[in-house]
Amino acid sequence: MNRRLNPVMFAGTGSDVGKSVIATAFCRILRQDGYSPAPFKAQNMALNSYATPQGLEIGRAQAVQAEAAGIPCHTDMNPLLLKPQSDHTSQVVLNGRVIGNRDAWDYFRREGREELRKEVFAAYDRLAARYNPIVMEGAGSLAEINLRDSDLVNVPMARYAGADIILVGDIDRGGVFASVYGSLMLLDESDRKMVKGIIINKFRGDMRLFYEGRRMLEDLCGIPVLGVVPYYHDIHIEEEDSVSLAAKSAEAGRGKVNVAVVLLRHISNFTDFNALEQDPRVHLFYSNNVTEIAKADIIILPGSKSTLDDLYELRRNGVCQAILRARRQGSSVLGICGGYQMMGRTITDPHHTEGELETMPGLGLLPTVTTMLPEKVTRQVRFSFDDGGQADMQGYEIHMGTTVAAQGEAMTPLTRLESGQADGCIVDDKCMGTYIHGILDNPAFVERLLAPHAARFAVEAAPFDYAAFKERQYDLLADHIRKNVDINKLYEILKP
């Protein structure tokens, strides 16, 4: 039996319609059904990134999709990553390495696009030689006609790969008939023929109410609606965008440790907190409100794509002073990556790596100084506490800059890498910082962080196993999609 399938691209009628989650689901479904899938997104724009085993950088969404597929992530899964630095500029990461900063006008002009196109095509070819099928993800809308000539990620990529396109529409935002039909009609006729099916996502209410709408959409478009996927609340898949973070309530959790993650304008790698958020002993929320931060037992300063700019804003809006007051009153403070840098005495940027600001005073909670450097550190790490123990915890680093003891000060490392290199700084069990993303995925570290506040626990609870939790979520997501999408019809579409 021929087990090979055509590649499939999940493209959208717009941004945030659920393409990433649908692609994640099919990575898991295809794996469950005996295939060897791999995810691919030619170009991703996100502040959430991840370090591959080779120490290179990709979008976090493709790392999650690779995890669902049961394979190690690789830069070939996301050869181009754009990390926004302002409304107009982004850091450009090609094949896992920074190649510079570009403003939107320069980046999307035709000059130089063919070189980038060759790179993403080559990455796809390498990936397709190792895995089948490739589960591709589009970006934004399938029908961005003003960017058609410079598009690297939607129809031109699908055409190169010979992929069948499945169009995903979001019914929750309204206008799903217009967005689906309009997206198709804006395509050239030859491109329209590549779209083989439609999935309606985020449906709320009684599914029977959309039965006639489904038939009408098929008649309008001449393409089968493969499924209508209900909105879910009880499946937890890591999110790519930070738009929903502020909606998480600061209402104090009874019998729980209240953890406030400081909501930065340029917050990055907020998936650092997913494991802690699911821990039954913890109530976690995001805020830059000084009153809400005062309610926290633990305050976490997260990573930032623009550390000095975010530090300036925290000083301006009073959050820095609120953190210092909370620390004096017994709250714990943990900094991760950019947050770790902010906790020191000063941050300097002599090379203007981040922008025009050359120096900013930090919170002064750690006896450290940080110098921003043009070179980015990206690597996966294994580590232990700085006590000579076995390096049985793991995480990853993605940062620009180096942090050392302030003049005349000594700093005690928080952890020690498998290589013997020291990481981070700890003042006491309620004040510490680290460069390691994913540190909160390790139960041993979480236990140490929560220990000073254990008296708040309503009941004794075992350490939370986040790795096992994530595996269950991928299986639950796959089950949810199988119940609501015609998988057999999709397999018919994908047969060569």
Sequential DSSP letters for 215-259:
HHHHHHHSS-EEEEEEP-SS-----S--TTGGGS--PPPTTSEEE
Predicted pLDDT at 113: 81
Q: Please spell the DSSP secondary structure of 167-188, one letter per residue.
A: EEEESTTS-HHHHHHHHHHTS-
Predicted pLDDT at 149: 81
Predicted pLDDT at 399: 94
Predicted pLDDT at 147: 81
CA 309 to CA 424: how far, in whole Å? 22
Which residues are designated catalytic?
A: 337, 437
Predicted pLDDT at 252: 61
Averaged confidence pLDDT in the chain = 92
- pLDDT tens digits for 270-326? 899 999 999 989 999 999 999 999 889 999 999 999 999 999 999 999 999 999 999
pLDDT at 199 over 90: yes
pLDDT at 1 over 50: no
CA 165 to CA 168: how far, in whole Å? 10
For the chain, domains (ranges, CATH) are 8-236+472-494 (3.40.50.300), 255-457 (3.40.50.880)
Q: What percent of the chain has pLDDT over 90?
A: 77
Contacts of 134 (CB under 8 A, 6+ apart): 7, 8, 37, 38, 39, 40, 124, 127, 128, 161, 163
User: How much is the pTM?
Assistant: 0.86
What is the arithmetic mean of pLDDT over 434-454? 95
Predicted pLDDT at 94: 93
pLDDT at 244 over 60: no
Residue 203: name the closest of 176, 184, 231, 175 by CA.
231
Q: What percent of the chain has pLDDT over 70?
A: 93
CB 437 within 8 A of CB 269: yes
CB 190 within 8 A of CB 150: no
Predicted pLDDT at 253: 64
Q: What is the separation of C-alpha 313 from the centre of its chain, rounded to a whole number of angstroms?
A: 23
Predicted pLDDT at 195: 97
φ, ψ for residue 218, nearest 5 deg: -65, -40
Length in residues, the chain = 496
φ, ψ for residue 211, nearest 5 deg: -60, -50
Comparing 346 with 250, the larger pLDDT belongs to 346
Predicted pLDDT at 105: 57
pLDDT at 208 over 50: yes
